[in-house]
Amino acid sequence: MTSSSRNTRSVRLTGMVVLLALFLAPALMPGTARAQGDFEGHWEGAIELPGAELGVRVDLRHTEEGWTGTIDIPMQGAEGLPLSGFEVSGTGIRFAIQGVPGDPTFDGRLEEDGVIRGPFRQSGQEFTFRLSRAEWLSEPARPQTPEPPFPYRAEEITYPVDEEVMLAATLTLPEGDGPFPAAVLISGSGAQDRDEEIFGHRPFAVIADHLTRHGIAVLRADDRGVGGSTGSLAGSTTSDFVDDALAGVGTLAARAEIDPERIGLIGHSEGGLVAPMAASRSEQVAFIILLAGTGVPLDEVILEQTELISVTERQVTPEQAARQRELQAELLRLAKSGADSTRLMEAMTALTDYQLSLLAPSGRVDPEQVERAARSGLASLLDPWTLHVMDLDPRTFLRQVRVPVLTLNGSRDLQVDAEQNLPEIMEALLEGGNEDVTARVLPGLNHLFQPAGTGGVSEYARIETTVDPSVLEILSRWIMERFGG
């Protein structure tokens, strides 16, 4: 999430995976004057996730109208999100953020040491939550985030996609008159701002800064419905994002500082599917770069992703991961075949019950929790974006791409597995007759192209590097070798 209060998709290919939508939820009993004084004010703490802590700041206030409050989640770029549903009783408190799937709840108790502790629950999973009066959080070190003054020009612009969608963007232009080669950055799945911000990292800002310093103009836009962009992500599909990317190409082509014959696309994760789709539709695209791009349909990516993450992050056994994969494969098969809601709910319930039982210490799960989580999961599965993207085979579009292609994958990417996807990307491009293809698996890098230990999602926030410098050099060198001068 960011300060623009973005929505998230349950299947997240980018920066990208299934990030917990960290929020809090409902109900207790009216509080006493003593309880009001105990809870009012500023709190800092964390939700303890497997292998990581997600820091939060909470500010609570009691007025004649009742309780109000806000929460910041710095690692997700979320600031000042309103809290609701307050009720307190003695030393207990619950509160909520509205409209978050998975029924997230915080049920805390103020203990003698002045710390609020209790379980945080979402989608049937339970984690420990703590808050104290001490200043516990510090801003994470992000040494690569660009800071002014810059040796290039940066313009805030807007451009239309259609009558309903106007994208807000930053265009960075190298020093001089040009005309320059240029690139449009395309984000991964979920609501992304122009910097593709995640856990305090701003990878698109880092990439744009590096490329522009090396003579390449860069356009990066907020997704539709995010930040300064109009329209809505709800109901939008990958094909709509192709329109957005090509609108960016057209905007660049109309600028005197840009060479219209040297405009390319750089797509991360789902953006790595959007880029070849756009290149297959438009002769204005001069090159494409795929960062953690997919080479097989999304349902196959999801199966591999879930198994890799489950084994790495949850410490499940290979046998348990295999059983989970079987249940998930059946669910996705039914969804792609257009099965009715009853069959889908049965399959989703079976998968949810199994997954939650792996997390529960006793191995048993409350049936009501399973039902709530299953209904939330089914709603996400039936989202127009999910159903549409599962019907797309990247190879169909890759075979139609004739312009130069650079495709990079990290060896420790658990979200888009290099072994599953890169060979398929290469084969499809070569089958189509593309004569300029460069493909590399980069050792030790994760889905965000950070130097990683396990590649687990829980590492993303703890790693200071936003984009490994070697990746930045590969990008600028490859573009300038073909389109510089």
79 by Cβ neighbours in 10 Å (0-12 / 13-18 / 19+) ranks as: middle
Q: Which two tokens stand for residue 315?
A: 């410490």
- Residue 74's pLDDT band (cuts 50, 70, 90): confident
- Residue 193's pLDDT band (cuts 50, 70, 90): very high
Cα 181 to the center of its chain, rounded Å: 28
Residues 318 and 316: their CA atoms lie apart, in Å, by 7
Closest Cα partner for 15 from 1, 32, 34, 31? Answer: 1
Q: Long-range contact list for 56-64, CB < 8 A, 24+ apart?
A: 56/22, 56/131, 56/137, 57/137, 58/83, 58/131, 60/86, 60/95, 62/31, 62/36
Query: pLDDT tens-digit profile of 29-54?
Result: 233 333 455 899 999 998 887 666 77
E strand or H helix at 277, and its extent? helix 271-281
Task: Write the DSSP symbol of residue 356.
Answer: H
CATH of 33-132, one of 3.40.50, 3.10.450, 1.25.40, 2.40.128: 2.40.128
User: Residue 389 in 3-state DSSP?
Assistant: helix
Give the torsion sign (CA, 415, 416, 418, 421): positive
Query: pLDDT tens-digit profile of 217-269?
Result: 999 999 999 999 999 998 999 999 999 999 999 999 999 999 999 999 999 99
pLDDT at 76: 63
Task: Write the DSSP symbol of residue 481.
Answer: H
Backbone phi, psi, residue 377, to 5°: -65, -40
First to last CA, the chain: 40
- 40 half-sphere exposure, CB direction, 13 A CA radius: 12
Residues 391 and 396: their CA atoms lie apart, in Å, by 11
Please say if the pLDDT value at position 107 is more than 90: no
Which residue in the block uniquely carries the two structure tokens 């189509």? Answer: 432
Looking at the DSSP bridge assignments, the partners of residue 406 are 289, 438
Q: Is the previous residue joined to 149 through a cis bond, with omega within 30 degrees of 0?
A: yes
Query: pLDDT tens-digit profile of 394-431?
Result: 999 999 999 999 999 999 999 999 999 999 999 999 99
Its pTM stands at 0.82
CATH of 152-297+392-483, one of 1.10.3210.10, 3.40.309.10, 3.40.50.1820, 3.90.550.10: 3.40.50.1820
pLDDT at 69: 86
Please say if the pLDDT value at position 383 is more than 80: yes
Which residue in the block uniquely carries the two structure tokens 């090509």? Answer: 246
- Number of Cβ within 10 Å of residue 33's Cβ equals 8
Query: pLDDT tens-digit profile of 278-325?
Result: 999 999 999 999 999 999 999 999 999 999 998 887 768 889 999 999
484 by Cβ neighbours in 10 Å (0-12 / 13-18 / 19+) ranks as: middle
Percent of the chain with pLDDT over 90: 65
Cα 152 to the center of its chain, rounded Å: 29
